[in-house]
Structure 1
Amino acid sequence: MLTRLLLGLAALAVTALPTAAQAAGPAVAYSTANLNMRAGPGTNYPVITTVPRGGGVTVFGCTADFSWCDAAFANAKGWVSGRYLSYGGNGLYYGQPIPNAGINLGVPRYHRNYPIYAGPPVVVQPVRPYPYRPYYAPGYPRRY
């Protein structure tokens, strides 16, 4: 009877672990390569900044398959590829790729309605209607 009670408590504890981990908050990770941070979850979105190899990021959530993660680095917030992130917190999953460890860490998953961030400012150069040519007054000697 005592064995059944202990097994029942152990099973309850194991099923409660993922929900307790979800309440833990954002996960800490580091990049395993120079990683482009983009405005949205995909390579078709503009690059906001580049996270250097070994750079620490805070992961707020990921797509359902953990292929893209909503993260913050320095003063930028955007999306990075999950396959180049490893868990940087303490515990059993330290150093594990986020796609493998994310479900056990309780990283929230987005199934739709992904947040899209503003891309970097676009610098527009003025376009001259014709090439620049200096003006020489009549009778003024031209120097070439």
Structure 2
Amino acid sequence: MSDIRKLGQSWIFSWFFGFSNIPTDEDCCIYMKSVLCCAKGDGVLSQAEKDWAIGFCASWGVADWVIKELKAYEADEDLKEVIARSPQVSIAQRDLLLTAIRACAADGEIHEKEKAKLKEMAFIIGVEEEIVDQLEQLHKEELALRQKRIQLLYPEKSPY
């Protein structure tokens, strides 16, 4: 791995998650497969959901094989079994849930069956349902703040 890639990984994991160490590519892959399983909670993994999840994972500087595997992933596995493959993923708990919420919402809504899958994930990893509700609210607030930031920075139009 190049020093530049490692620098980018260190920054993004510190900024987004508060990590002082970089997770393994294997853990990142399992983490995102768990997220994709939630996003398919309504029976459909939309292209927007998959693109969001893979794009976010790619921003972490993971190995090419992780992205290739996620692109081919159908998200039909049992969520509990996927999470069980990595003790680190179940320790991630709340950030795993927030990432799953973001992916589920990437197509414009969180379907009721996706919400049920998110609650299943929360149960599996030991997070109370009220925390899931708080994370959903946080996601809405982040979206509004993102929109406010973009509008403030580029009131006319984006330069790109």
Q: TM-score, normalized by length of structure 2?
A: 0.24
Higher-strand-fraction structure: 1
Q: TM-score, normalized by length of structure 1?
A: 0.26
Q: Which structure has the larger Rg?
A: 1
